[in-house]
Amino acid sequence: MTDEALNDLTEFHWMMDMLQTVDVGLVVLNREFQINLWNGFMESHSGLLPSQVRGKSLFTLFPEVNESWFRNKARPVFELKNRAFIIWEQRPYLLKFPNYRPITGTEDFMYQNITLSPLISTTGKVDNICMMIYDVTDVAVGKKVLESAQVTLSELNEKVAERKRLA
Protein backbone atom coordinates (compact mmCIF):
# COMPACT_ATOMS: atom_id res chain seq x y z
CA MET A 1 0.00 0.00 0.00
CA THR A 2 1.34 3.50 -0.85
CA ASP A 3 1.86 6.03 1.90
CA GLU A 4 -0.88 8.23 0.51
CA ALA A 5 -3.45 5.50 0.52
CA LEU A 6 -2.45 4.60 4.05
CA ASN A 7 -2.86 8.20 5.14
CA ASP A 8 -6.29 8.38 3.54
CA LEU A 9 -7.27 5.23 5.32
CA THR A 10 -6.05 6.55 8.67
CA GLU A 11 -7.98 9.77 8.17
CA PHE A 12 -11.09 7.84 7.26
CA HIS A 13 -10.63 5.81 10.40
CA TRP A 14 -10.40 8.96 12.53
CA MET A 15 -13.46 10.35 10.86
CA MET A 16 -15.47 7.26 11.67
CA ASP A 17 -14.18 7.31 15.21
CA MET A 18 -15.34 10.89 15.65
CA LEU A 19 -18.79 10.22 14.23
CA GLN A 20 -19.02 7.30 16.57
CA THR A 21 -18.06 9.26 19.70
CA VAL A 22 -19.53 12.73 19.05
CA ASP A 23 -22.14 13.63 21.66
CA VAL A 24 -24.85 14.10 19.06
CA GLY A 25 -27.14 11.40 17.74
CA LEU A 26 -26.53 10.61 14.08
CA VAL A 27 -28.94 8.52 12.05
CA VAL A 28 -29.10 8.04 8.29
CA LEU A 29 -32.56 7.27 6.93
CA ASN A 30 -33.56 6.34 3.39
CA ARG A 31 -36.79 7.29 1.63
CA GLU A 32 -38.60 4.40 3.35
CA PHE A 33 -37.30 5.66 6.69
CA GLN A 34 -35.15 2.59 7.14
CA ILE A 35 -32.07 3.11 9.23
CA ASN A 36 -28.70 2.98 7.45
CA LEU A 37 -26.45 4.45 10.11
CA TRP A 38 -26.73 4.55 13.87
CA ASN A 39 -23.84 6.11 15.81
CA GLY A 40 -22.54 5.57 19.31
CA PHE A 41 -24.77 8.22 20.88
CA MET A 42 -27.87 6.49 19.49
CA GLU A 43 -26.61 3.10 20.58
CA SER A 44 -25.91 4.25 24.13
CA HIS A 45 -29.15 6.09 24.69
CA SER A 46 -31.50 3.66 22.99
CA GLY A 47 -29.76 0.48 24.07
CA LEU A 48 -30.09 -0.82 20.52
CA LEU A 49 -27.03 -2.03 18.62
CA PRO A 50 -26.45 -0.86 15.04
CA SER A 51 -26.91 -4.46 13.94
CA GLN A 52 -30.35 -4.52 15.58
CA VAL A 53 -31.61 -1.43 13.78
CA ARG A 54 -29.94 -1.55 10.37
CA GLY A 55 -32.50 -1.82 7.56
CA LYS A 56 -35.43 -1.58 9.95
CA SER A 57 -38.02 1.17 9.78
CA LEU A 58 -37.78 3.98 12.31
CA PHE A 59 -41.53 3.74 12.87
CA THR A 60 -41.53 0.02 13.73
CA LEU A 61 -38.60 0.42 16.10
CA PHE A 62 -40.07 3.50 17.78
CA PRO A 63 -43.85 3.42 17.75
CA GLU A 64 -43.92 6.68 19.75
CA VAL A 65 -42.94 8.58 16.59
CA ASN A 66 -46.03 9.92 14.84
CA GLU A 67 -45.49 8.61 11.33
CA SER A 68 -47.51 11.08 9.24
CA TRP A 69 -46.14 14.02 11.23
CA PHE A 70 -42.55 12.91 10.77
CA ARG A 71 -43.05 12.17 7.05
CA ASN A 72 -44.38 15.70 6.64
CA LYS A 73 -41.28 17.13 8.30
CA ALA A 74 -38.96 15.06 6.14
CA ARG A 75 -40.71 15.80 2.84
CA PRO A 76 -39.06 19.17 2.14
CA VAL A 77 -35.70 17.60 3.00
CA PHE A 78 -36.08 14.89 0.36
CA GLU A 79 -37.80 17.06 -2.21
CA LEU A 80 -36.24 20.50 -1.76
CA LYS A 81 -32.83 19.54 -0.38
CA ASN A 82 -33.78 21.79 2.47
CA ARG A 83 -32.80 21.38 6.09
CA ALA A 84 -35.63 20.95 8.58
CA PHE A 85 -35.47 21.77 12.26
CA ILE A 86 -37.63 20.48 15.06
CA ILE A 87 -37.22 22.13 18.44
CA TRP A 88 -38.08 20.81 21.87
CA GLU A 89 -40.78 23.45 22.30
CA GLN A 90 -42.73 21.69 19.54
CA ARG A 91 -42.24 18.20 20.89
CA PRO A 92 -40.02 17.58 23.90
CA TYR A 93 -38.52 14.55 22.19
CA LEU A 94 -38.66 12.49 19.04
CA LEU A 95 -37.31 9.27 20.52
CA LYS A 96 -37.94 8.76 24.19
CA PHE A 97 -34.53 8.35 25.80
CA PRO A 98 -34.49 8.08 29.57
CA ASN A 99 -32.57 10.49 31.75
CA TYR A 100 -29.02 9.18 32.00
CA ARG A 101 -27.79 11.32 34.90
CA PRO A 102 -29.15 9.52 37.93
CA ILE A 103 -27.86 12.07 40.45
CA THR A 104 -28.10 15.54 38.94
CA GLY A 105 -30.70 14.93 36.23
CA THR A 106 -34.09 16.37 37.13
CA GLU A 107 -36.14 15.24 34.16
CA ASP A 108 -37.40 11.76 33.31
CA PHE A 109 -36.38 11.93 29.68
CA MET A 110 -34.04 13.69 27.30
CA TYR A 111 -35.31 16.87 25.62
CA GLN A 112 -34.24 16.90 22.00
CA ASN A 113 -33.68 19.32 19.16
CA ILE A 114 -33.67 17.59 15.81
CA THR A 115 -32.07 18.61 12.52
CA LEU A 116 -32.90 16.79 9.32
CA SER A 117 -30.34 17.37 6.63
CA PRO A 118 -30.30 16.08 3.04
CA LEU A 119 -27.55 13.74 1.88
CA ILE A 120 -27.09 14.30 -1.81
CA SER A 121 -26.04 11.21 -3.73
CA THR A 122 -23.64 11.12 -6.66
CA THR A 123 -26.62 11.41 -9.00
CA GLY A 124 -27.66 14.70 -7.38
CA LYS A 125 -30.77 13.18 -5.84
CA VAL A 126 -31.57 12.92 -2.16
CA ASP A 127 -31.96 9.24 -1.40
CA ASN A 128 -30.96 9.51 2.22
CA ILE A 129 -31.30 12.08 4.94
CA CYS A 130 -29.25 12.56 8.04
CA MET A 131 -31.05 13.04 11.31
CA MET A 132 -29.10 14.76 14.09
CA ILE A 133 -30.40 14.52 17.62
CA TYR A 134 -29.13 17.08 20.14
CA ASP A 135 -29.58 16.68 23.87
CA VAL A 136 -31.04 20.00 25.05
CA THR A 137 -32.34 18.83 28.43
CA ASP A 138 -30.30 21.40 30.35
CA VAL A 139 -31.53 24.24 28.14
CA ALA A 140 -35.14 23.12 28.47
CA VAL A 141 -34.90 22.74 32.24
CA GLY A 142 -33.27 26.19 32.51
CA LYS A 143 -36.03 27.81 30.49
CA LYS A 144 -38.75 26.08 32.45
CA VAL A 145 -37.22 27.23 35.75
CA LEU A 146 -36.95 30.77 34.40
CA GLU A 147 -40.56 30.76 33.28
CA SER A 148 -41.86 29.53 36.60
CA ALA A 149 -39.77 32.18 38.37
CA GLN A 150 -41.35 34.82 36.14
CA VAL A 151 -44.82 33.54 36.97
CA THR A 152 -44.06 33.61 40.72
CA LEU A 153 -42.71 37.13 40.37
CA SER A 154 -45.73 38.46 38.54
CA GLU A 155 -48.02 36.79 41.11
CA LEU A 156 -46.12 38.50 43.91
CA ASN A 157 -46.36 41.81 42.09
CA GLU A 158 -50.09 41.37 41.78
CA LYS A 159 -50.40 40.62 45.48
CA VAL A 160 -48.44 43.74 46.38
CA ALA A 161 -50.61 45.82 44.07
CA GLU A 162 -53.74 44.31 45.60
CA ARG A 163 -52.58 45.17 49.11
CA LYS A 164 -51.75 48.73 48.10
CA ARG A 165 -55.19 49.08 46.60
CA LEU A 166 -56.85 47.89 49.80
CA ALA A 167 -54.70 49.98 52.12
Partner 1 sequence: MYSVLICDDSLVARKQVAKCLPEEWEVAVHFAKHGQEAITALREGKGQLLLLDLNMPVMDGYQVLEAIQEQKLPTKVIVISGDIQPEAHQRVKRLGALEFIEKPVKPAALETLLQQHRILESDGEEDKPELANLDPEIRDIYQEITNIAMGQAGDHLARILNVFVKLPIPNVNLIEASELHMMLQDIEDKDTVSGICQGFVGPGICGEALFILSDSSFNDVAKILNISEEVDDQMQLELLMDAANILIGTCLNGLASQLDMHFSQGHPEVLGQHRNITELININKTRWRRTLAIELSYGLEGYQVHCDLVLLVTEESMETMNNKLSHLLED
Kindly list the residues in this chain that would bind partner 1 in the complex (CB under 8 A): 72-73, 75-76, 79-87, 89-90, 113, 115, 134, 136, 143, 147
Shortest spacing between CB 55 and partner 1, in angstroms: 28
Shortest spacing between CB 8 and partner 1, in angstroms: 23
Return the number of the residue (60 or 82) whose C-beta is nearest partner 1.
Answer: 82
Helix (H) or strand (E) holding 19: helix 3-21
- Give the whole-angstrom CA distance, residue 64 versus residue 92: 12
Angle at the Cα of 116 from the Cα atoms of 25 and 122, rounded to 5 degrees: 105
- Give the whole-angstrom CA distance, residue 87 versus residue 39: 21
Return the number of the residue (55 or 142) whose C-beta is nearest partner 1.
Answer: 142
Total residue count of the chain as it appears in this document: 167
Return the number of the residue (83 or 96) whose C-beta is nearest partner 1.
Answer: 83
Judge contact between 79 and 71, C-beta under 8 A. Answer: no
Return the number of the residue (12 or 85) whose C-beta is nearest partner 1.
Answer: 85
Q: What is the DSSP letter of 57?
A: B
Return the number of the residue (37 or 87) whose C-beta is nearest partner 1.
Answer: 87
Residue 62's identity, in one-letter code, is F
Shortest spacing between CB 137 and partner 1, in angstroms: 14
Shortest spacing between CB 54 and partner 1, in angstroms: 28
Shortest spacing between CB 48 and partner 1, in angstroms: 26
- Give the whole-angstrom CA distance, residue 167 versus residue 119: 68
Judge contact between 112 and 133, C-beta under 8 A. Answer: yes
